[in-house]
A and B are shown apart, each in its own frame.
Chain A
């Protein structure tokens, strides 16, 4: 259990739970480690997919990121949030995987909305798929940092400080990349 005075003032229940999970995972608690992994798997996978653009390589990078997380966990001091710290590890894993592959592809056409469409008719699905393809194509046309800034901010809800930490730039640069990316998307999609 984490001491109360080790937690940030005003920490909400989610932050408290996370701080406890991180502390327990650092002590070697397997259940805490798995809970953290489950919690952040979507964030890590989507980041690696945005960087790499190919699902198979992104899955490899995700696995590598979480294994690296375990190795690095004893050194986590809480200077940044755990998620920010983990996403930096994930970005590094993705960049390493990208260097190994030495090639880049467009992000495949996927989408939660498409898969959640359930019983919608075929015509609607085709339209939706076409729209997703258009969005993915537009995102793929952005410079890397703009694409990542938009994806991390709009899709994953990171703050600009967290975006900056994840993609290796300042909070201000993350904000600029995000707004330039959104502006370009508006030109491409409207």
Chain B
């Protein structure tokens, strides 16, 4: 943008003038113009009002931010390889069990006994811990929880 009119130049620099960030020479030149220009005076009044409305900084904010920076970053919980392997075994067993239940294996016959010649894969019909459809979606945290439940 080309600034040709003196007022345009002065208004571009009014924030610096009000914040007292200009050198003495430029400040004098700008003030001389503003003192003789009603339009620039009006703009200076508005910008002064805006500058006076500068929000204060909450007193506790600095300490809060610095404390947050000192905290180590939160990382998702990781399972050790050994526990991951154990979790996978448990999950596989549960999934397998759920599949067998879904297929009718291990389900008790009408009289509640296992038919002759069939091996009871489960002692009786039991509900899976979680619905079969959900099992593949288990997170590490859920596997951890599952392990705890199995261990207790």
Contact = CB atoms under 8 A, between A and B. Distances in A.
Contacts of A131: 49, 52
Contact of B15 (A59, A153, A172): A153
A59 B21 contact: no
Given A111-B55, A172-B1, A154 B64 contact: no
Given A41-B65, A59-B61, A153-B15, A190 B46 contact: yes
A33 B42 CA distance: 42
Interface in B20-50: 21, 42-43, 45-47, 49-50
Interface of A is mostly: helix
Contacts, number: 100
A185 B45 CA distance: 11
Interface stretch (A4-12, A42-50, A81-89): A42-50
Contacts of A38: 62
Contacts of A185: 46, 50
B51 interface: yes
A145 interface: no
Contact of B46 (A34, A67, A189): A189
B57 interface: yes
B5 to A, nearest CB: 13
Contact of B54 (A111, A182, A186, A190): A111
Interface in A145-186: 150-151, 153-155, 157, 172, 175, 179, 182, 185-186
A60 to B, nearest CB: 10
A113 B18 CA distance: 14
Contacts of A96: none
A16 interface: no
Interface string A82-108: 000000000000000000000000010
Contacts of A37: 62, 65-66, 69
A71 to B, nearest CB: 7
B58 interface: yes
A45 B43 contact: no
B56 A112 contact: yes
B73 interface: yes
21 contacts: A33-B69, A37-B62, A41-B57, A62-B61, A63-B64, A111-B53, A111-B54, A112-B52, A112-B55, A131-B52, A135-B49, A135-B52, A139-B53, A151-B50, A154-B14, A157-B15, A157-B21, A179-B11, A182-B46, A190-B45, A190-B46
